[in-house]
Amino acid sequence: MSGPTLRDVAKRANVSIRTVSNVVNGYAPVSDELRTRVQAVLDELDYRPNLIARNLKQGRTGMIALVVPELDVPYFAELAREVITAARAHGYVVMIDQTDGAVERERALLGRDSRAMMFDGLLLSPLAVSAEELRGRGNRIPIVLLGEHIFNGSFHHVAIDNVAAARDATAHLLGLGRRRVAAIGDQPYATGETAQLRTVGYRQAHAHAGLTVDEELIVATPHFHRKLGAQAMERLLALPDPPDAVFCYNDLLALGAIRALTRNGRRVPDDVAVVGLDDIEEGQYSTPSLTTVAPDKGEIARTAVDTLMESINGGAAIPAEIVVPHRLIIRESTTGADDPRG
């Protein structure tokens, strides 16, 4: 079943196991003559080191785990891509699991008989699991959190400034002269911290502009998928005084909203301007292309992986709240098709 071991090679080459190991790793000096002989046997038997055994001895696996709510949500797919690339630069590979937002799945990687042991570190994009749980579970491997900051001060954490991001998006719409700017994606309950921050930014932008928020224009959605964006938009269109712009808390909601607008014969941006958040690739190619707030995903991934590596290597003891830059990318869904390149 399993391939040849150091012992097999050693026996065949009439040398000690240790010497074969030395040849394989180049650790200790081995005479050219012997090296050649051993190497020949290694090649002959097609020896490959058993990484599990090596890991056991060295206490490391060279793997980190990335846990996201849903891998087929473009934002997370794009983020996962960047994480895999960033990890590779450290010689690491990435195990990916998805929680579907289910607490028990998030817990699974932290729990007693978990596989957490198999990984040197964990990148977690939490939806449901609480801070106390994370702390209480006595995890032994370093953790870096992505995109939430509800665990303030207890864990390393990498995210954009959500308040500022939402403020920028809303201000852009107000700056275009829109006066009834709706918000889609609020989550006014315990685990909706990120959404709530965005609502804060939405309100701040109104305050800055000396405008009051029509509470009717804030629509909550339990999650951030296209369908809910479309539904929320339908509801807004049914209002006696519908909005002339909408800030969606992510791009999928925005694309769903645009779809609903189109279906109802409204023109984007002429009748209703739309801004999203995430800058998923899809938004560049949608019709109209999507104005959005772009978090620097590469930077998020690199920073998170670098921080995790530091933790793994014993450094970075003090949990750090790391803020990654974002920027507003203006496309057709707010300013129309002036730019022929789209």
List residues near a copy of itself by CB under 8 A. Answer: 1-3, 46, 48-53, 55-56, 59, 61-63, 70-72, 74, 77-78, 80-81, 84-85, 93-98, 112-118, 138, 140, 226, 230, 255-256, 258-259, 262-263, 281-282, 284-287, 337, 340, 342
Nearer to a copy of itself, 78 or 168 (CB): 78
In the numeric block, the tokens 């109104």 are attached to 206
Contact partner at residue 317 from DNA, a copy of itself, none, CB < 5 to 8 Å by partner kind: none
Minimum separation from the CB atom of position 317 to DNA (A): 22
Contact partner at residue 18 from DNA, a copy of itself, none, CB < 5 to 8 Å by partner kind: DNA
Contact yes or no for 108/119 (Cβ under 8 A): no
Residues forming contacts to DNA in the complex (CB under 7 A) are: 2, 5-7, 15-19, 21-22, 24-25, 27-31, 33-35, 47-50, 53-54, 56-59
- Residue 226 and residue 47: Cα distance in Å, rounded? 51
Nearer to a copy of itself, 96 or 200 (CB): 96
Burial class (CB in 10 A: 0-12, 13-18, 19+), 267: exposed
Minimum separation from the CB atom of position 174 to DNA (A): 59
Interstrand relation of 326-329 and 291-295 (parallel, antiparallel or unpaired): antiparallel
Minimum separation from the CB atom of position 89 to DNA (A): 22
Helix then strand then coil, in percent of the chain rounded to 5, is 45, 15, 40
Contact partner at residue 17 from DNA, a copy of itself, none, CB < 5 to 8 Å by partner kind: DNA
217 HSE (CA, 13 A, CB side): 21
Nearer to DNA, 14 or 152 (CB): 14
Contact partner at residue 130 from a copy of itself, DNA, none, CB < 5 to 8 Å by partner kind: none
Interstrand relation of 321-324 and 93-98 (parallel, antiparallel or unpaired): unpaired
Minimum separation from the CB atom of position 105 to DNA (A): 24
Contact yes or no for 183/329 (Cβ under 8 A): no
74 HSE (CA, 13 A, CB side): 15
- Residue 65 and residue 146: Cα distance in Å, rounded? 13
- Residue 273 and residue 290: Cα distance in Å, rounded? 10
Contact partner at residue 6 from a copy of itself, DNA, none, CB < 5 to 8 Å by partner kind: DNA
Contact yes or no for 202/185 (Cβ under 8 A): no
Nearer to a copy of itself, 113 or 270 (CB): 113
Minimum separation from the CB atom of position 12 to DNA (A): 13
CA 253 to chain centre: 17
Contact partner at residue 34 from DNA, a copy of itself, none, CB < 5 to 8 Å by partner kind: DNA
Nearer to DNA, 28 or 89 (CB): 28
- Residue 119 and residue 47: Cα distance in Å, rounded? 25
Nearer to DNA, 57 or 341 (CB): 57
Contact partner at residue 15 from a copy of itself, DNA, none, CB < 5 to 8 Å by partner kind: DNA
Nearer to a copy of itself, 112 or 177 (CB): 112
Q: Where are the alpha helices (DSSP H) in 109-225?
A: 131-136, 162-175, 193-208
Nearer to a copy of itself, 11 or 259 (CB): 259
The length of the chain in residues reads 342
Q: How many CB atoms lie within 10 A of CB 35?
A: 15
